[in-house]
Structure 1
């Protein structure tokens, strides 16, 4: 099936959000490096761990959650923003973090979408971009570090105008008693407690506070306060 005909531009929908350096006036002049973080979920302990590492490396952190189409069962924009508002108000340095939604669809296209996400954030003013476990993946369709491999390969061949922070999956180690990754912990097989997004969703859908090991109770409470009908996309 093919469709032909005249194309008429109705609205330059992405003009101010995808291609404009929106961060140039957000941070003070001392901020030289800004790391972007793509998300479609409320912040949990694993994402917090990645973001804190990024803040050690870069001057500032830009949280840029998707606010366009997402699949059924994903978190709503309200749930994501409520979680991050709590995190910003209670835990993060206010002069080094910024959040703004990005109204584009989640495509679940894995590695290629990870690069697309990075280039969008480059255009918005980021110097660095985080790619973690199974970026833009769905189920077990992609390998968990395929996106990182593509990012590394492309960076060696081209100047993409943005640096990547390729970080391993964080988990809670009952031996170390902290959030770690396989790169800095020897107990992956014996003492690993996964920070499960599936379990977090299940708990919140049942009106329960997830384990403090997975999500801060303050974050969970802010999400549950929205009411079940406002937490998940139907």
Structure 2
């Protein structure tokens, strides 16, 4: 094969490879966006969450503690450190800076072992003219009726036909009308919506 033929063959081969990359299902262009190896990395620590602090080669500095109501944790040598409202990486970086005065080249890891504040934020709340306003843990499959029954049902002063399901979305808060009267009196489940973590159900009182 002469040089011209070899060059032509290599050119055809390169074009074939580029075409395959452009149309193949496994190409980089078609790959889904990269995700964090640990979804908790972006989680903002909250009060009552349990955090574990580890310092490489210094096990005596390791602790596992809940975040206090003031948003702080107490760490050996450095004392109180802010944790609430920060990511685990933020807290680790802050601790590394503070521990540098006592430990040579500290390597700190902060791990969330129990996301207790998340459970609080994901609760479903029922307020207004119900027997007992409640804040209940979200359960998969829960509906408006389930939540209202957890609140003991409606009172004699309720206006169930004007109930609402309030939900926060990326576009802001939204209210969805719930015909609780039809649900309770006729078994009409058209507005017996599935609830989501953080939903608030309001049952207004009648106007006399």
User: What's the TM-score bracket when you normalise by the shorter of the two chains?
Assistant: under 0.3
Name the one with the larger strand percent. Answer: 2
The structure number with the bigger radius of gyration is 2
Instruction: Give the alignment's TM-score, normalised by structure 2.
Output: 0.23
Compute the TM-score of the two structures, normalised by the length of structure 1: 0.21
Return the structure number with greater relative CO, CA threshold 8 A, min gap 6.
Answer: 1
